[in-house]
Structure 1
């Protein structure tokens, strides 16, 4: 790795799972706004549901998700009662008109729910919304939660994809991040869901963790590949202790630097590709037969708050505390504090506290950044076709960026602007060049590699 090049492009920038990014959401988008947006969704619109469970029975120190630890089930049961109220309220505004193409249960740890509550939640959603016969049902699984009753419950709600966090199999790394999970434990969960007919398994691993080494990540990758998951996500650890206080439990001195991070990522990627997987975007891999790989090949890959996806729904509806939704009009986010979230929805209202109403200029830059993040390129002709004359100003920005590039990371190639192989590790930094909001406000981000 060229250290000077890495240091130049490693400055903190967003991950671009949305545009504008969440720090720019504002209180001008209220529950009233969101209610109007839901009512405006046309009959037959395709939609996806995201349901957030903000509880874990242990707190992983690396985690940047909105969650809290509890050893008692009472707060979870209370939260589920409120969640059911929100489901009813949202469904009353749009449920009968929508065609649900996908459901994702995330957290936190959705598998912390009892088997009975998992089945009740699945039944409630199917009662209130109309699911397509081939809807994808994905669930984030913590192997430490799992027992036979929960496996059976997930099968009964129609789970089609299981997503498990591996992070790293090295015991020293696991202790440093408070996530002890053996290879045997992980394999048992993969085997159990496959036995129950789940057609797709996704495994997440991280690089850049405390005490992680190049040799160690090679061993973890080899073990992970032995499970032959359908999809693999290879994420860089986002160290944001100013935002997630539990990350202060991680020793900064034990973290690899930017160059070491990229070397770890490259070593893992090389092994994954050699095993027959195809690269998808900047940090995902999939078997050639998987729909995610097919979307990457066809140029139809998408990116949202769950990462890379094949989801092409007209609306993503977030349910639960802190959840984010995207409708044609813009973004909405629920109240993050569970107590206030519960108060609002139990009173029969929506829990929206902020969002972002999209302008045409926002949609144009959002499309451009998404294509960069998914395809490493965008077409000037397609940009003009979609957005007309206003696109010329953005094209001029791209031309200036390419003309001024002395590092061979971003070039103009005929009709297309392309991130080169040399530039791919710095994709987030290149995308940030088109972010009209970056630098506004006080938001801080993780490093870009």
Structure 2
């Protein structure tokens, strides 16, 4: 990518795992409205469930998640009690017993739980919801805290996919982000997973971390790919110390500049494809026979709070402190503070403290942004027609796209937009043109590259 483009589009824009995005949620959506929205769901609607385990054994300094570090199990056990109570509370507000086709356990780190407590959590879900045939149960796994007994408990509970956090295998980088995780630790956990039948494995890697170089990132990619996970996510580190104060512990002088970040992304992406992975959307890679690859070929790729996914459930219900849910009527977000979340749940209150209702225009723009993020292009005539409009409705946005077009980031063909190969890392800048909530100079998001 040309150096002038890297500098020009060094913007802070959303990752567009939702639209409208979380910074635009407000207090107008509360527990009472959430209860009404839950009751309005069609009982036949397939659900996706997300459970947020808001604790880790220790804090990784690069982390942007809502989590707390603890060496004691008592706070974790207390939090789990509230999480189990919330599952029952939400289920009681639904119009009938409903079924799920996807569960995702995230955090924090779900592996901070004892194996028997993880089993309790899955049993509670099965007691309150039905599982559709072929449903996926996915767990984010920290190799540093998961032993073989935990993996066995996961397998017995029906877990089908594990997402392994790695970030980088270089010891210097690991020390700088406070995540000491030798390659052998990751390899051992993956061997346990495969031994016990959890064959679908994701791996998270990161570029833009302190002390990383192009050569070291490529080496990490090669070592990660040698374990042959089905999917690899290659995320750009989002340095937002004004939001996540623990990131102040990262030496800013060791962070790569924008041009270096781009070179790391470009080299890692190219190497992954040389190693047989297919590029998925902006920052995911998958083996040719993986469901994610097949979905992209069919134009059926989706994007939600977990990133690129095959999950097309129209309703996502979030459980746990800070969890976000998506319903046909809008988005809801749980209380972030763990103590307050626990108090609300035990008082029988749905712990929603913010959200946003969406209208037909939001739905249309969300569809446009999702296709751009997933397909690197969008036919505005086709998408708009699904909502009773025409592509001509977006002439102002197309005119605003002129700069991106002149710079070779997008190509316009009538009312069809195509993101060029060179422009792919900047697709979020193209999406932002359709974002009617985004204010100029917005600084609450991560950089576009």
Q: Measure how far apart 1:415 and its partner are.
A: 5.1
Report if the CA contact (8 A) 2:401-2:430 is conserved.
Answer: no
Q: 2:304 is matched with which residue?
A: 304
Tell me what 1:228 maps to.
228
Q: 2:430 — aligned with what?
A: 430
C-alpha separation between the residues in 2 aligned to 1:207 and 1:147?
A: 28
Displacement of 1:184: 0.6
Shift of 1:133: 2.8
Partner secondary structure for residue 272 of structure 1:
helix
| 3-state SS, counterpart of residue 242 of structure 2 | coil
SS in 2 for 1:204: strand
Aligned residue for 2:59? 59
Deviations 1:261-307 (A, max 9, x none): 01101111111101111110000010111111111111111111100
- Paired position in structure 2 for 1:161: 161
* CA–CA distance in structure 2, aligned partners of residues 356 and 404 of structure 1: 30
CA distance in 2, matches of 1:176, 1:253: 12
Q: Distance in 2 between matches of 1:356 and 1:22?
A: 9
Q: Give the match's secondary structure for 1:417.
A: strand
- Per-residue deviation at 1:403? 7.6
- Unaligned 5+ segments in structure 1 are none
Distance 1:114 1:359, change over 3 A: same
Q: Structure 1, residues 359-392: CA drift from partner, whole Å, max 9, x if none?
A: 1111111111111111111112212311223753
Count of residues in Structure 1 that have an aligned counterpart in Structure 2: 449
Matches within 5 A, 1:91-110: 91-94=91-94, 96-110=96-110
Q: Trace 1:295-444 onto structure 2 (pairs within 5 A).
A: 295-389=295-389, 392-402=392-402, 405-414=405-414, 416-439=416-439, 444=444
Give the secondary-structure state (helix, strand or coil) at the position aligned to 2:405.
coil
SS at match of 1:131: strand
Q: For 1:28 and 1:268, how far apart are their aligned partners in 2? A: 43
Q: Following the alignment from structure 1 to structure 2, what is the Cα–Cα distance between the partners of residues 383 and 122?
A: 38
Q: Secondary structure at the match of 2:94?
A: helix
TM-score by length of 1: 0.97
1:292 and 1:112 map into 2 onto residues whose CA distance is 28
SS across alignment from 2:406: coil
8 Å Cα contact 2:400/2:433 also seen in 1: no
Decide which moves more: 130-139 or 57-66: 130-139
Q: Which residue of 2 aligns with 1:89?
A: 89
1:150 paired residue number: 150
Q: Contact 2:381 / 2:391 at 8 angstroms: preserved in 1?
A: no
Give how far 1:396 is off: 4.2
Distance in 1 between the 2:301 and 2:395 partners? 22
The range that moved more, 399-408 or 184-193, is 399-408
Contact 2:39–2:95 (CA under 8 A) maintained in structure 1: no
Q: CA RMSD in A?
A: 1.5
Distance in structure 1 (CA, Å) of the matches to 2:413 and 2:379: 10
CA contact (8 A) 1:95 1:128 kept: no
Shift of 1:442: 6.7
Q: TM-score, normalised by structure 2?
A: 0.97
For 1:7-156, list aligned pairs within 5 A. Answer: 7-94=7-94, 96-156=96-156
Aligned-pair CA distance for 1:77: 0.6
SS in 1 for 2:50: strand
Cα distance in 2 for residues equivalent to 1:73 and 1:358: 40
8 Å CA contact 2:56–2:109 kept in 1: the answer is yes
Q: Once the two structures are superposed, what CA deviation does each residue of 1:158-178 show, in whole Å capped at 9, x if it has no partner?
A: 111110111010000000000
